[in-house]
Chains A and B, each alone.
Chain A
Amino acid sequence: MMTIFLIFWPLVIALGIFAFKPANAKLVAFVSALVELAVCLFMFVGFDSRNATAWNYQIPWVPSLGINFSVGMDGISFLLVLLTTGLMPFIILSSFKTPNQKPADFYALMLLMQMALVGVFTALDGFLFYVFWEMALIPIYFICLIWGDENRAPVTFKFFVYTLAGSLFMLMALLYLYYQTPGAHTFDIQALYKAGRALSSAQQGVIFWGLFLAFAIKMPVFPFHTWQPDTYTVAPMEGTMLLSGIMLKMGFYGLIRWLLPVVPLGVHEWALTAVVLSVIGIVYASIIAINQKDFKRLIAYASIAHVGLISAGVLTSSKIGLQGALIQMLSHGILAFALFYICEIISTRASTRTISSLGGIRVGAPILTTVFVVVILGTVALPFTSGFVGEFLLLNALFQYNYILGALGGLTIILGAVYMLHAFQYMMLGKHSPQASRVSDLTRHEKIVLYPIVILIFMIGIYPDPLLQISEVAVADLLEGFSNFSAKVK
């Protein structure tokens, strides 16, 4: 029942929000997100990784087609739900000071988004998963389209068509699997696993690419990333936060839950290709980030680089890789949120995001600078910050998988420092530029948003153990569930 609450509570509020005065919409949304987080934290305390079916819930939906409303949370799902519910209050709070013509619509869409995301991370039925997957696209599309920067229409459209095209491949793959299930057919995840594993190696390869395309576009992995920098740049801050903080994790989650266990032979056959693409993405996006003049665009490319490492780690199908990916998803969510927020704070005050026209912000805004430094340290994965734990485990997995790919992927720790320190230097240090003098230090409101983030960055970096423990059993179960299938070929 708890799972059901987590999915539908945001929907209830999203509909109910129109009953309140528009001026109060943000407060309603914030309180609702806090309630959701509180419930989630309560579940966190009582989480028993060995009894993961405790939160499963299933009712028939379209019985004639074998579609059930079947949801549940094991450790893997729970961490992503925790990320979603944990980040939402921050995203809503960060939007408080932005002028907004239609607040009720805006926050209703945000909450709808939350519902769809929690749905994606908990669905245990192929059709339900697809429905939530597509449902997540609608609110973010409107958020970007209505509240985005100028030039948003074509960019948002490209994003929309692109990701939609990807999900159509996924739909085809799921349908194909559906028809392989015995009897009257079912979308039940275990049945789909079974159906997928029974396929020949060649068939599994086709399914692999169908599913992988959808997930790769969402993350995005090189060379399917071209929608991302433009979309991140023109989307409103909250939209970018949702996209990079939470939504792209749908792609990784898809890999973990709906790809690796479904077609083990396909993975065995094609994982290397996909890992190579991911690693190319790490190096390629890092190098392009060096050339960016717009800080928001730089973060977008940095995100592609980080995403590449996570996807490479997942595709190694190793326990350490998956554990690293999960913790890195949490860390990336927090850091992406903070980076885009800081970017917004600076660009609103200075009326520019161009790195070269800023400079010397530190003089007038020491606290902002300090927070920014901490976030950058997390981004470049300095030990004892959240970014290090995942990055180390991922590199560990990747290096075990293939020495050369591991070393190439490791370049991220050098290149990441190159573009981040360069941007930091020319934005924050040096002599006071005219634009920078307009950047005052953090307000009380901004401190309330950013201080907990700073604490989280260090907490996850120094004591990641509780989080690692949550997913440990689930990851081991998931991989052991099909290890004998891929072992057969070896």
Chain B
Amino acid sequence: MVDIKVLISCIPLFPLLGFLVIGLNVHKLSHKTSSYVACGSVLISFFLSIIVFAELLGLPPDQRSLNVTILRWISTMGFSSNIAFLVDPLSSVMLLVITGVGFLIHVYSIGYMHDDAGFSRFFSYLNLFIFFMLLLVLGSNYLLMFVGWEGVGLCSYLLIGFWFKNHDYNKAANKAFIMNRIGDLGLLLGVILIFINFGSIDYEMVFASASSVNVTTLTWITVLLFIGAMGKSAQIPLYTWLPDAMAGPTPVSALIHAATMVTAGVYMVARNNILYSLSPVALQLVLVVGLCTALFAATIALMQNDIKKVLAYSTVSQLGLMFVALGLGAYASGIFHMATHAFFKALLFLGAGSVIHALQGEQDIRRMGGLKKYLPVTYMTFFIAVLAISGIPPFAGFFSKDEILAHAFAQNPLVWGIALLASLLTVFYMFRLFFLTFFGNARAGEGIMHHIHESPKSMAVPLIVLAILSFIGGFMNVPGALGGSTWLADYLSPAFHSDFAGEHHLDHTTEYMLMASVVGLTVIVIAVAYLNFVKKKKVPLEDGQLRGAASMVYHKYYVDEIYDRTVVRPLHWFARIADDVIEKLALDRLINSVGQLITGSSNVLRKVQNGSIGFYIFVMVLSIIVILTLTTVAEL
């Protein structure tokens, strides 16, 4: 039997090897070989993750923590950071989601990207992404997490701008990278602050002495770390890059910008739950930001007509909901929702990709409609995903969302109310999207409808698998009120040191009432959507016909424009002023005149400026004379 530690090291190793093999031979490998290497390496990692997971299950709960050290990395003068991995219940769940969903999306990409000239390049980037994502969750210290954190940002940048001939896409890629870097600076300073106060950046050391550091410092640390999460997980105010990131190929949107990378912030806060639990202010901030983002993004999604943009805002909103859970201290519920969301949101994106593929690139839902009978597999799987995200029992989203709402209700009914509102908006825009795409009249052009076809098997199979997961995924954690077992929360509990890891203090009657009212309201919202978009066959207005508040929401509250006016343009303006005025006019002249003063008179300088190269020798001689004179004087 191979040592478990070797297996753990191999989990990120295989995608890295895949990246190197494809990346170094990008023009030599056939499409087939590239796809086999890429999918194979992730599949191996997935199997290894299962083995490691099983190994962990075999251990008593309090010993479920495995450490592997690979290499001394940056280590000097009391600072020490190794390339070392930590597998515990939290990272093992992340491993399964990343490699599992990651593998399905790799397979899907074979069909989706089949005639793209950059096929091999695409797969090398995907493998690199998986590698960095695995580092992010496996790292046993903050700096290694930061490596993964920045690495996935790089892959996101490379993949958003994958079709590099289009400058709009390149701009979206730059925007994503730069906005993420704003967050990364916060994260990095947080890590340094941890080192200053704890003398270590190893999770185990830091968590063990967490309570010995004063609360103000902990608040600073956790808030700085959370700034990182705002960037990576697209929370207010750093969320605007994510909708633009939809410029990348759709599998990328599914993998990176829905299922895995954007949940890194959720993982990070959950990982640091000890620190957050000790700082009520930071938790409050997480809660408020999450709540605002969940509601705000959901309202924008109501008015969008690009199928991927709707899903993007939906992702922002759902991530907000996860942060609500974390902010309530219900860390396990946050991770639970992260997992179910990975299933159904990946499915939604892949379904959208299938639709776009069938319609030869069309993304506007006003040009879709009536696709039900042409794309039966896509239709059925998409329907399941919509039910899951809407929280219809017994689909996955019902359980995870219900848990968050129950926690919210137990702590603060107002939070519950806002979160519920965001959820109901979600139900509406998802069904709006669903009905406009698959029901009603076919609004696409005849040329497109003529060629319409269901996607190939490599795309359909991942859809079906994800649909199954979206259906049964919720049973990992069934609330006690419904007679199930909270398996996931129990499994995760060693990683969460909070007092109320999986429990909220609601009696069963209250819980039933909550569930019933939520489900009832959801059904009503669905009925409204049905009435509007199926019965009345309403289609969103064309651009420019919107007025007032609707127009404002359609334009995403003009947040991009506000950022442009308040940050981007002033920065460029200042760059021009600094370059043309401060640098060339003020500083240069000032220095020149100081120089002239020192050298004596400007007259002398002008003479020398005639190009006399001998000037240097003159000065050298002069200095020697100075030395000699001084020496002589001293010796007298």
Residues of A near any B CB (own CB < 8 A): 65, 134, 137-138, 141, 145, 153-154, 157, 160-162, 164-165, 168, 171, 175, 179, 185, 223-224, 226, 284, 287-288, 290-292, 319-320, 323, 360, 362-363, 366, 377, 382-384, 389, 392-393, 395-396, 399-400, 406-407, 410-411, 413-414, 417-418, 421-422, 425, 429-431, 462-465, 468-469, 472, 475-476
- Does B616 contact A468, Cβ atoms closer than 8 Å? no
- Starting from the known contacts A392-B143, A463-B71, 13 additional A-B residue pairs (CB-CB under 8 Å) come to A160-B616, A168-B623, A226-B591, A288-B578, A290-B575, A291-B579, A383-B147, A383-B150, A393-B76, A414-B178, A417-B178, A429-B164, A462-B71
List B residues 584-636 near A (Cβ within 8 Å): 587-588, 590-591, 595, 598-599, 605, 608-609, 611, 613, 615-616, 619-620, 623, 626-627, 630-631, 634
B388 at the interface (CB under 8 A from A): no
Contact A287 B185 (CB under 8 A): no
State whether A65 and B631 are in contact (beta carbons under 8 Å apart), knowing that A382-B150, A399-B196 are contacts in the complex.
Answer: yes
Specify which of B77, B188, B598, B609 is in contact with A392 (CB 8 Å cutoff).
B188
Within 8 A of A (CB), among B55-95: 71-79, 83
A418–B171 alpha-carbon span in the complex (Å):
11
- Which residues of B approach A to under 8 Å, CB–CB? 27, 71-79, 83, 143, 146-147, 150-151, 154, 157, 161, 164-167, 170-171, 173-174, 177-178, 181-182, 184-185, 188-189, 192-193, 195-196, 571-572, 574-576, 578-579, 583, 587-588, 590-591, 595, 598-599, 605, 608-609, 611, 613, 615-616, 619-620, 623, 626-627, 630-631, 634
Minimum Cβ distance to chain A for residue B51 (Å): 27
- Complex Cα–Cα for A145 and B611 (A): 10
In contact, B79 and A320 (Cβ under 8 angstroms): yes
Q: In the bound complex, what is the Cα–Cα distance between A428 and B620 (angstroms)?
A: 47
A393/B591 contact (C-beta < 8 A), A288-B575, A429-B165, A430-B170 known: no
Give the residues in chain A near B195, CB-CB below 8 Å. Answer: 396
CA distance A185 to B147 in the complex (A): 53
Q: How far, in Å, is B405 (CB) from chain A's closest CB? A: 37
Whether B572 lies near A224 (C-beta < 8 A) is no
A422 CB to closest chain B CB, in angstroms? 7
Among candidates A138, A395, A413, residue contacting B192 with C-beta atoms closer than 8 Å: A395
The closest CB in chain B to the CB of A399 belongs to B192
Could you say which of B151, B185, B583, B634 contacts A179, with CB atoms under 8 Å apart?
Answer: B634
- Are A287 and B188 touching (Cβ within 8 A)? no
| A288 / chain B contacts, CB cutoff of 8 Å | 575, 578-579, 583
Using Cβ atoms and an 8 Å threshold, which residues of chain B touch A392?
74, 143, 188
With both beta carbons as reference points, the residue of chain B lying nearest to A326 in the complex is identified as B76
B188 touches A413 (CB 8 A): yes
Residue of A nearest to B144 (CB): A383
Q: Which 9 A-B pairs have the closest CB atoms?
A: A291-B575, A383-B147, A319-B77, A429-B164, A290-B575, A291-B579, A468-B76, A226-B588, A421-B174
Q: Are B627 and A175 in contact (CB under 8 A)?
A: yes
B571: which of A290, A389, A407 is its contact (CB, 8 Å)? A290
Chain A residue nearest to B573 in the complex (CB):
A291
Residues of chain B with a CB closer than 8 A to A425's CB: 161, 167, 170-171, 174
- Taking CB atoms, residues of chain A closer than 8 Å to B161 are 425, 429
| Residues from chain B with Cβ under 8 Å of A138 in the complex | 616
Minimal beta-carbon separation of B383 from chain A (angstroms): 39
What A residues does B167 contact at CB under 8 A?
425, 429-430
B258 to chain A, nearest CB (A): 24
With most chain A CB atoms within 10 A of its CB, the pick from B143, B146, B150, B598 is B150
Beta-carbon contact of A406 and B189 below 8 Å: yes
> 20 A-B residue contacts at CB 8 Å?
A154-B609, A165-B599, A171-B623, A292-B579, A319-B77, A320-B76, A320-B77, A360-B165, A382-B151, A384-B151, A392-B74, A393-B79, A396-B79, A399-B189, A399-B193, A400-B196, A406-B189, A414-B185, A430-B170, A468-B75
A431, B595: Cβ atoms closer than 8 Å: no
Q: A175–B27 Cα gap in the complex (Å)? A: 63
Chain B residue nearest to A359 (CB atoms) is B167
Contact indicator A475/B77 (Cβ below 8 Å) = yes
B77 lies within 8 A of A407 (CB): no
* Residue of A223, A284, A396, A465 touching B75 (CB-CB under 8 A): A465
> Within the assembled complex, what's the spacing in Å between the Cα atoms of A469 and B583?
40
Instruction: List A contacts of B147 (CB < 8 A).
Output: 383-384
Q: How far is the CB of B190 from chain A (nearest CB, A)?
A: 10
Q: Are A476 and B77 in contact (CB under 8 A)?
A: yes
The reply to whether B587 and A421 form a contact with Cβ atoms under 8 Å apart is: no
- Bound together, the chains give a CA A431 to CA B332 distance in angstroms of 48
- Which of chain B's residues has its CB closest to A380's CB? B181
Q: Is the CB of B591 within 8 A of A410?
A: no
Q: Which residues of A contact B78 (CB under 8 A)?
A: 319-320
Name the CB-closest residue of A to B596. Answer: A161
Please report the C-alpha to C-alpha distance between residue A441 and residue B579 in the assembled complex, in whole angstroms.
34
Bound CA span A464–B79, Å: 14
Residues of chain B within 8 A (CB-CB) of A462 are: 71, 73, 83
Residues of A within 8 A of B173 (CB): 421
